Structure 1
């Protein structure tokens, strides 16, 4: 399933501002990869599933919040690949389940809830062991001694294998592109896109712009550099680790922090009105957590003449539309 050949459309956004400024804006619709395994999650999970199968694992475990796009895609992929899957959820259980958790349980995901303090420390060896013992004790898939043997996928799916997968998105970026715009969560997709554009030998005039969805996302620069370094080391065809400069082997890149709207999954009236107006005028749904913030930022940058006249801009739609269901009421409260 995750290895099928993809056809990803480009959608022209005929925004009058861009026409007036002499700019071209297209959306790369990677949200169209699959109804369940949507957007960047398809690419981030691809090689993790290959690795899990090579290691002969039958169960995958990962982490997320109650509206996690990652867990939603993971459950869909596990169902398609006939693997068991467990989701460790941040916070307390609630009944009835929200639409996201209802979906993942219907797909066969077993849910466990842990308090927020434990969740913050889930990377620690002792906390991971507690989680493993919890799963062994419950034995949700009746695997006996094998209940504690599982393949662990990081929160958000970001690891070196995810970077490898996300690098394949670059193949769908047209030649003669000046700016590629990408929303950022954990930094894995951005690092992968950057690496993929390097491999593709994109033109030296191309710049990759990232828009962190959380407040205080400056830490992502170090994360991206580290992920990229790991990927470069894993592939000896490249020897230089890129930074914010452009040379023969690198792509210029920049993270822009002014459009988090107060933090991850935060919403204000300006963003709510923007989503409503944009979707009335263009046949493109926006995910309020990621793509809406990015698109708002792109329009704002065009108003400020950030993009030189004649620039071709590609905005990557990374999916996450299932998460809209948890935000619709919040959007409507601003009207």
Structure 2
């Protein structure tokens, strides 16, 4: 069992920001960088560490309960850190995998996680106050962390990620599923300090682009907005004709500072058609780091396609956030 400080010492923080030089059409007209949050730790990496880091303090919780599917990166990361810190952990998993546990569930079992399989009807109640009160009675000493780690505390961890960036940029691109990562980026950009950046440009508004990894126009925006109560929606993709969605707002239009592009979900969450699988396979065979098709693969595909369509201004500086989660590709 490790102390929290010893565990933090095993992490690579700040994570690196690396120049990225793919041979993609249009890539030569912009400057690309990757924020390598996948490099934080082999298991506890990406936005999962960022979203959980501020839920874990010196005074550790006595127990933790959380939710996810059978391949959940969130449950995988949370199960690992709970095992390392000696925190009893209960994973409430959608669907019964007891006969055929996924690789993620096999890891949780090895890490002494208590697993409760629930049907889809029960799982849909994961945000209902009555159901959460039942869980509090069942697990009186536990804190309950929402699915995906998406809670208000997560935003500070994402802000920490943005604050680590020491290269100037106009856009930061990230996959979107539960909304907290994009919300944290949006909040961080409001107060982004360029003091540590050499020759920082007077960009009036750096912008965040979310890549929806599931079908959810309007729904994904609402997930982000629940964490941005004082910020009206700047640009909602459902109000833009489909043929116009590839166009990125000009970086001098300061008021439109975030939006979600819904053109790259490939049919829904965890839908990975052969063209996406092929793209990820070729990427992994030629690039200095790996991606997976559920989150990062869709984000990198989106950037490739948007570049080919001329959606970014020439000279734009673009950071792609690698949110980790490679284990989910198993």
TM-score by length of 1: 0.82
User: Which of 272, 276, 300 in structure 2 is aligned with 1:271?
Assistant: 276
Write the mapping of 1:62-141 to structure 2, written as runs, cut at 5 A. 62-131=66-135, 136=138
Counterpart check, 1:288 vs 2:293: yes
Alignment of 1:244 onto 2:234: yes
> Could you report, residue by residue, the CA deviation over 1:86-111 in whole angstroms, capped at 9, with x for unpaired residues?
10010113334221011112112110
SS in 1 for 2:218: helix
How far apart in 2 are the matches of 1:260 and 1:249? Answer: 27
Deviation at 1:82, TM superposition (A): 2.0
Q: State the match for 2:239 in structure 1.
A: none
Q: Unaligned 5+ residue runs, structure 2? A: 195-202, 236-250
Contact 1:6–1:33 (CA under 8 A) maintained in structure 2: yes
Q: Please give the alpha-carbon distance, in whole angstroms, between the structure 2 residues aligned to 1:80 and 1:277.
A: 35
Question: Is contact 1:63-1:89 (8 Å) kept?
Answer: yes
Q: Which residue of 2 aligns with 1:209?
A: 209
Aligned to 1:332: none
Which residue pairs with 2:199 in the alignment? none
1:222 aligned partner: 222
1:38–1:319: 8 Å Cα contact kept in structure 2?
yes
For the residue of structure 2 that corresponds to 1:270, the secondary structure is: helix
Retained in 2: the 8 A contact 1:28–1:316?
Answer: yes
Q: Is the 8 A contact 1:198 1:250 kept in 2?
A: no
1:103 & 1:250 partners in 2: Cα distance?
Answer: 45
State the match for 2:263 in structure 1.
258
Equivalent-residue separation in structure 2 for 1:3 and 1:20 (angstroms): 36
State the match for 1:141 in structure 2.
none
SS in 1 for 2:45: coil
* Structure 1 residues 22 and 187, CA gap change in structure 2 (3 angstroms): same
Measured after TM superposition, the shift of residue 125 of structure 1 is 3.3
Q: Deviations over 1:114-152 (max 9, x none)?
A: 11111012222333345456xx4xxxxxxxxxx532100
Distance 2:177 2:205 in 1: 25
| Aligned pairs, number | 300
1:129-168 → structure 2 map (5 Å cutoff)? 129-131=133-135, 136=138, 147-168=139-160
Partner of 2:40: 33
TM-score by length of 2: 0.83
Cα offset, 1:57, TM superposition:
3.4
8 Å CA contact retained: 1:213, 1:264: yes
Alignment partners' CA distance in 1, 2:311 and 2:166:
21
Q: Give the SS at the match of 2:175.
A: strand
Residue matched to 1:195: 187
Residue 54 of structure 2: aligned partner: 47
Task: Report if the CA contact (8 A) 1:163-1:188 is conserved.
Answer: yes
Q: Give 3-state SS (helix, strand or coil) of 1:87's partner.
A: strand
* Change over 3 Å in CA distance of 1:150–1:309 after alignment to 2: same
1:160 is paired with a residue whose SS is coil
CA distance in 2, matches of 1:60, 1:261: 34
Give me the whole-angstrom Cα distance separating, in 1, the residues matched to 2:168 and 2:108.
40
Q: CA RMSD in A?
A: 2.4
- Gap runs ≥5 in structure 1: 137-146, 230-239, 326-335
2:200 — aligned with what? none
Quote the offset at 1:272 in angstroms: 1.4
